[in-house]
């Protein structure tokens, strides 16, 4: 496994949907929609312990903790204390020590990892670490940017300065299979992708003066929750057109088998 210096970028394009200073409404809706889905999915399956990898400001961990008894909120740093006693904050960078050691426990029922592994030089190594703290039957809910949405510069590299890898459904499935996971569902958020694309196109054509998200009232918590549930909720249709691929996978086998 590569060391932390070569596996990780120095910067992350973190998003907090409830940060009123962040202007991009549909990106907020997408991020929140993924956590709403994960919370409902895991709670319906009686999950007791979930690891939230790349937790950022912790808004997603807080959402998970609303229905999951124990949430391990993992990131390289935590800007503020957790809002709930059931959230355990863990400061850790993958690749510097084993996850089992960092978490001080052997196994978790589920792992949520949204918009994180594309920042890694060795995403397969991270998935292997995940598999080592899950028994067969463990759930992994993962999201990565869809390769069709990533732009390639003249130098052949991704133009997004934060992303190190682009993924297709096939490539992320292969990485998961190699780490002992079986993909159960592939979902997308094509509605937000389409709305954002149409909005951008109409602005360029000067058919509209600005974006819907320019209206401050739409960035309130209640409105964001509703938009995320109605527009940003992951679905199995038109996945190929979605900016992000949301993968639900199950831990099926030991790598040694």
Contact 172, 217 (CB under 8 A): no
Measured between alpha carbons, how far is residue 6 from residues 111, 122, 152 in Å? 24, 8, 22
| Whole-angstrom distance, CA of residue 40 vs CA of residue 64 | 9
Domain 21-251 has CATH 3.40.50.150: yes
Contact 108, 51 (CB under 8 A): yes
Q: What is the pLDDT of residue 8?
A: 33
Q: Is the pLDDT of residue 3 over 50?
A: no
Q: Under 8 Å CB-to-CB from 241, ≥6 apart: which residues? A: 148, 188, 190, 193, 194
With tokens 């993968």, the residue in question is 247
Q: Is the pLDDT of residue 96 over 70?
A: no
pLDDT in tens, 225-248: 999 999 999 999 999 989 899 999
Q: What is the pLDDT of residue 211?
A: 92
| Whole-angstrom distance, CA of residue 252 vs CA of residue 122 | 22
Inter-axis angle of helices 25-44 and 221-230, nearest 10:
70
- Find the helix or strand (DSSP H, E) in which 90 lies: strand 87-91
Q: Is the pLDDT of residue 6 over 50?
A: no
Percentage of the chain beyond pLDDT 90 is 62
pTM above 0.85, yes or no: yes
Largest CA distance in the chain: 59
Give the other-Cβ count within 10 Å of 231's Cβ: 16
- Find the helix or strand (DSSP H, E) in which 31 lies: helix 25-44
Q: What is the pLDDT of residue 10?
A: 34
* pLDDT-based confidence at residue 92 (cuts at 50, 70, 90): confident
pLDDT in tens, 141-183: 999 988 777 666 665 556 666 666 788 999 999 999 999 999 9
Q: Is the pLDDT of residue 1 over 50?
A: no
- What is the domain partition of the chain in residue ranges? 21-251
């Amino acid at each position: 496994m590569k060391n932390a210096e070569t596996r990780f970028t120095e910067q992350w394009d973190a998003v907090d949907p409830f940060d009123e200073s962040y202007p991009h409404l549909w990106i907020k809706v997408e991020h929140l929609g993924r956590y709403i889905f994960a919370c409902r999915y895991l709670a319906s399956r009686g999950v007791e312990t979930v690891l939230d990898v790349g937790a950022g400001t912790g808004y997603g961990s807080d959402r998970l903790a609303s229905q999951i008894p124990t949430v391990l909120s993992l990131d390289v740093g935590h800007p503020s204390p957790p809002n709930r006693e059931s959230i355990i904050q863990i400061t850790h960078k993958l690749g510097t020590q084993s996850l089992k050691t960092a978490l001080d426990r052997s196994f978790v029922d589920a792992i949520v990892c949204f918009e994180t592994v594309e920042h890694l030089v060795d995403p397969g190594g991270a998935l292997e670490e995940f598999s080592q703290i899950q028994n067969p039957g463990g759930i992994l809910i993962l999201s990565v940017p869809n390769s069709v949405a990533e732009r390639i510069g003249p130098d052949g590299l991704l133009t997004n300065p934060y992303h190190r890898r682009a993924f297709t459904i096939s490539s992320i499935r292969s990485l998961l299979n190699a780490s002992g996971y079986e993909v159960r569902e592939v979902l997308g958020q094509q509605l937000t992708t389409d709305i954002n694309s149409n909005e951008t196109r109409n602005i360029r054509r000067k058919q509209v003066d600005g974006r819907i998200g320019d209206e401050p009232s739409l960035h309130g918590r209640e409105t964001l929750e509703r938009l995320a549930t109605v527009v940003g909720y992951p679905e199995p249709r038109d996945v190929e057109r979605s900016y992000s691929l949301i993968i639900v996978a199950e831990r099926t086998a030991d790598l040694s088998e």
